[in-house]
Structure 1
């Protein structure tokens, strides 16, 4: 077994599009140590090299997973004209905590448990249940194409509960944080 040189490690990190900080976090070491290893200032322990190589392998696996393989299709959704009561029932049946709002196949908003609970605290239950979705919906979820990698979608999901997958102008699927977390079980 030939150990990689500092140049080899830096080249592979750059090919994977990782910063020194991202690699350090994945490998469980400090960013200054990565910088020193790549510059040749320090000769790392074998265990440290193994951690770095494992981090590279993990990053490669993530980049090989594309959203088409992970998304739920068809995307269960509601329309702006649906009643909140119907949305709550649909979310309950499917175990969703949020749901996209589509109008003629185009994302126009979203409804989440958090939003409904907030509205319930501000009003009476009956008055909310008979409202139309268009009167309470939040912003639409971000959209991506089906060929995008899981690493890109993971970053989007850090700030959003779900991502819609659009192909040829039509919503073909949805990916949630829960879907990405399920990858850890494999």
Structure 2
């Protein structure tokens, strides 16, 4: 997140830090922080960078992690199942996409749009023939900023711990967390 000098006071207070605490984290003096916040000084580039780095580190520590927004019940389908079964599962669970899992390994993704495309183009009735590449797999410690970026490009992300699938995060899960 890019910071501006005029925002330091607001960001510091939102993070619950005193001027002294921010100064200590940034390796600068408390009086420098006070002067910057009151617009009485134009700090050097190196001092500004130290302050911004400290604020960024605090921001990362306070960030929501994947483990707190994960949807732990993984609704999935095997690659050798037929498309009709995939539709039935998706309708039953009110989902628009689901991972394709074989022997506890993520092998692909099937979604409403993929299924519609296969039906319109009379493609195969087997999930393995229409599925897309597997969605990204992330750690439960992954921050919300990275999750948001991934969900701009993928309908879901899968959360795993030591190679074992723990859950999924869809755009709707992220929206529930944010609003």
Normalised TM-score (structure 1): 0.64
* Residue in structure 1 matching 2:141, options 125, 137, 147: 147
Normalised TM-score (structure 2): 0.66
Separation (CA, whole Å) in 2 of partners of 1:88 and 1:8: 49
Deviation, structure 1 residue 7: 8.1
Structure 1 gap ranges (5+):
17-36, 41-55
2:65 matched residue in structure 1: 66
Does structure 1 conserve the Cα–Cα contact (< 8 Å) formed by 2:60 and 2:143?
A: no
Separation (CA, whole Å) in 2 of partners of 1:77 and 1:163: 13
Aligned length: 136
Deviation, structure 1 residue 6: 3.1
Indicate yes or no: 2:160 matched with 1:166: yes
Q: 1:12-50 CA distances to partner (integer Å, 9 max, x unpaired)?
A: 69xx9xxxxxxxxxxxxxxxxxxxx9x95xxxxxxxxxx
After TM superposition, list the pairs within 5 Å mapping 1:96-135 onto structure 2: 96-123=95-122, 131-135=125-129
Larger Rg: 2
Q: 2:74 is paired with a residue of what secondary structure?
A: coil
Structure 1's consecutive aligned runs of 4 or more residues displaced over 6 angstroms after TM superposition are: none
CA-based RMSD: 3.2
Separation (CA, whole Å) in 2 of partners of 1:177 and 1:111: 16
